Amino acid sequence: MSSWTADELNRVVTQAMARAQSARPLGQSGAAASRILTPAEAARLIDHTLLKPDATEAQVRQLCAEAKQYGFASVCVNPTWVGLCRDLLVDSPVKVCSVAGFALGATLPEVKAFEAERAILSGAHEVDMVINVGRLKSGDNQTVFQDIAAVVSVAHRLGAVLKAILETALLSEEEKIAACALAQAAGADFVKTSTGFNGGATVADVALMRRVVGPAMGVKAAGGIRTAAELRAMVAAGANRIGASAGVKIMQELEAQSAEGESEPEAGREVEAGVEPSPETGDAY
């Protein structure tokens, strides 16, 4: 695990603050922003998500069938379902994603690392961990860094991708910047906006996260993304992964628009995702 002093981490955060204020937006722009994603391209960005506590085996099986049908990037499930998803997706390019420290992030680093290790050994290719939000808000950069680094170490040793969930709806702008900088310093592969249980993604937050981490690190937008227009807005702002429980609905919209030759059904309207939890799913994915 990487070792940084408190002073070094404080400098990393201070430098990130300066970058965020001075950097040009790093989302798509110009021709890239105006180019409409094809349904297949959009599908490869989506982590098809089912993280509600009362999810059943039948629902998980349906999730995997839908992911195979549409060609989603992954299914994202609680650790208890990883083995089943591994078996159901063994002949598919769809990956299995699971979670650690979910959904509060307030457990101990070694517990999160153990959760991640067990999930990966059970078949997960990716792990989304919740950072220690309370420690971040207390200004304890070293504990936040060490927490992320402990899980990164396990994930990378076992060949898995690690995404750090910031829970942006609970953070000030300065705290969002600090969280991104600490996750990047700790070696996480992605920063992710939200669990979906405490508010969701916004275009502004995704754009800020992309400015802070630059082009080389992943940015995952998750929470409240339920329409094709919202997905496009997040991608234009800089997201290169989307967490959504509404992936099938989004794909149906995109396929219908593609069949009708529509370019941007809601052109001219700025989309700001981050709506309240859905009564249908019990969470904001």
Q: Which of 147, 192, 205, 283 is catalytic?
A: 192
Residue 26 has which token pair? 């790093």
Q: How far is CA 169 from CA 176, 236, 277, in A?
A: 9, 20, 13
| Complete DSSP assignment for 221-236 | EESS--SHHHHHHHHH
The overall longest dimension of the chain from CA atoms, in Å, is: 57
In the three-class reduction of DSSP (H, G, I as helix; E, B as strand; rest coil), residue 12 is classed as: helix
267 phi/psi in degrees, rounded to 5:
-60, 145
Residue 33 has which token pair? 């922003």
Q: Please count the other Cβ atoms lying within 10 Å of the Cβ belonging to residue 92.
A: 14
Please list the residues that pair with 129 across neighbouring strands: 100, 164
Q: 139 and 173 in contact (C-beta within 8 Å)?
A: no
- The dihedral over CA atoms of 74, 77, 83, 86, expressed in degrees to the nearest 10, equals -10
Is 176 annotated in the active site? no
| Complete DSSP assignment for 247-261 | HHHHHHHHHHHHHHT
Q: Which of 47, 95, 112, 128 is catalytic?
A: 128
Is 192 annotated in the active site? yes
Please list the residues that pair with 100 across neighbouring strands: 129
The rounded distance, in Å, linking the Cα atoms of 49 and 221 is 12
Angle (CA) 152 158 163, round 5°: 35
Is 68 annotated in the active site? no
Q: 163 and 11 in contact (C-beta within 8 Å)?
A: no
Q: Which of 112, 163, 176, 220 is catalytic?
A: 220
The catalytic site residues sit at 128, 192, 220
